Amino acid sequence: MPVSKLVRRREPAEFTRQEFEHRVERARKLMVKAKLDGILVSSEMNLEYLSGFTTQFAWNTPTRPWYFLLPLKGKAVGVIPEIGITNWQATSWCQNLLTWPSPRPENEGLDLLTKAIKALPRRFGRLGVELGDESRLGMPVADLLRLGKMIRPFELADAIPVIRELRIIKSAAEVARIKHICGVANDAFDRLPDLVADGDTERDIVRKFQAELYLLGADKTPYTAIGSGKGGYDSIIQGPLPRRLRKGDIFLIDTGTKWGGYFCDFDRNIALGKPTDKARRMHDLLWLSTEAGIKAAVPGNTAADVYAAQAKVLVDAGIVLGNVGRFGHGLGKNMTEPPSNKPGDATVLRPGLVLTIEPSAMYDGNKIMVHEENLVVTDGKPKLLTRRAPREMPVVAW
């Protein structure tokens, strides 16, 4: 079980001031359309996206909320607990701060927020907050409802349509980060056959794989799932279990790993000993299905088209489609973002949209197999951000 030493690799540069100016400028244009006088964010991904504030701390301790207020006109402001001043000043472009001594359960920054919001120029009378699809609030709901009363005559409105449109198109600097972490994970996958030792359980393999990801340059690996079983696995989101791997098993590792605030999200299949013909055929068909999905990821096509292209390969071969609900999704600061590659998702692809291509198929009753690659849509052909999986399933001799 050889584990590598620390590998130092060239990393993407810090985001420039222009990167954030561009985000703010785009946000403000969208805010006018959405009739919002300001946007207040408290969730990890949206606060980090707009302010640049980078921390492990804030998102691991729900005791203290953290806020960023971006007005349509005027200065943005961070409204944060005193404990975070140094951390904020070192990482955010916005040096305008309001702070309070937290924990203070009776008033976790609500008075400061109210004052800042009421001072906004009131054109529409609406403050955008995180309410809608695929959002998670970074503060207690009771505090949001209380704030809604305190800021009257401003009304709370949904900021998520604005944020969705902002974040769905990635800048070159964002794409570079996703590509970087894809490279780290690809390297870890390349070493996976050497990490697997006789007697290992799923848990052992995931521990070693996660350690490898760090030594190869990852910041965090929030998601490293594994599925294994004789001739194939029956879950792609579960594990690691204490199950011991055996000759004849096929296993899958799927990882959502992060660098610089951005995720990769892809998987690889490995056979321990020669796989069955059935499993080899499934792997081949899924590889071809992925190929079709990649080809379909061009401007003008919809997310539904990308699904249809993948599904066609499998359906034409008489294969039952996977029961996952979609064949890939947006990727960025979240491991899964809009759109969904599924029937009915009419999101039109544009350059800068980063997608996973992820067909899955059922076989031998309850077995499922899945493939996944990450790409960015361009003016021409899509650019792969992962190194393409081999068409033949990798086999570890056991």
Say how many Å lie between the first and final Cα of the chain, rounded: 14
- Tell me if 336 contacts a copy of itself by CB under 8 A: yes
Closest alpha carbon to 222 in 44, 19, 362? 44
In angstroms, what is the minimal distance from the CB of 161 to a copy of itself? 11
Binders in 231-260 for a copy of itself, by CB under 8 A: 234-235, 237-238, 241, 256
Among 33, 57, 107, 118, binds a copy of itself (CB under 8 A): 57
* Longest CA span, the chain: 70
Q: Assess contact for 233 and 227: CB atoms under 8 A.
A: yes
Task: Rank residues 241 and 396 by Cβ distance to a copy of itself and give the closer one.
Answer: 241
Among 16, 62, 121, 155, binds a copy of itself (CB under 8 A): 62
Task: Rank residues 235 and 378 by Cβ distance to a copy of itself and give the closer one.
Answer: 235
- Tell me if 136 contacts a copy of itself by CB under 8 A: yes
- Tell me if 148 contacts a copy of itself by CB under 8 A: no
Binders in 278-307 for a copy of itself, by CB under 8 A: none
**What is the phi/psi pair of residue 101, to 5°?**
-80, 100
Neighbours of 83 (CB within 10 A): 15
Question: Which stretch, 137-145, 173-181, 268-276, 277-285, contacts a copy of itself (CB under 8 A)?
Answer: 137-145
H or E stretch at 251: strand 249-259
Q: Assess contact for 356 and 265: CB atoms under 8 A.
A: yes
Q: Assess contact for 94 and 52: CB atoms under 8 A.
A: yes
Question: Which stretch, 32-40, 55-63, 266-274, 346-354, contacts a copy of itself (CB under 8 A)?
Answer: 55-63
Binders in 115-134 for a copy of itself, by CB under 8 A: 129-134
Binding string, 174-213, against a copy of itself, x = CB under 8 A? ------------------------------x--xx-xxx-
Identity of the amino acid at 211 = A
Closest alpha carbon to 317 in 344, 356, 283? 283
Question: How many residues make contact with a copy of itself (CB under 8 A)?
Answer: 75
Among 19, 29, 114, 158, binds a copy of itself (CB under 8 A): 158
Task: Rank residues 134 and 190 by Cβ distance to a copy of itself and give the closer one.
Answer: 134
| Interatomic CA distance for residues 186 and 32, integer angstroms | 42
Among 21, 82, 316, 392, binds a copy of itself (CB under 8 A): 82
What does the DSSP assignment read for 94-151? ---EEEE-S--TT-SSHHHHHHHHHTS--SS-EEEES-STT---SS-HHHHHHHHHHT
In angstroms, what is the minimal distance from the CB of 263 to a copy of itself? 8
- Tell me if 107 contacts a copy of itself by CB under 8 A: no
In angstroms, what is the minimal distance from the CB of 396 to a copy of itself? 17
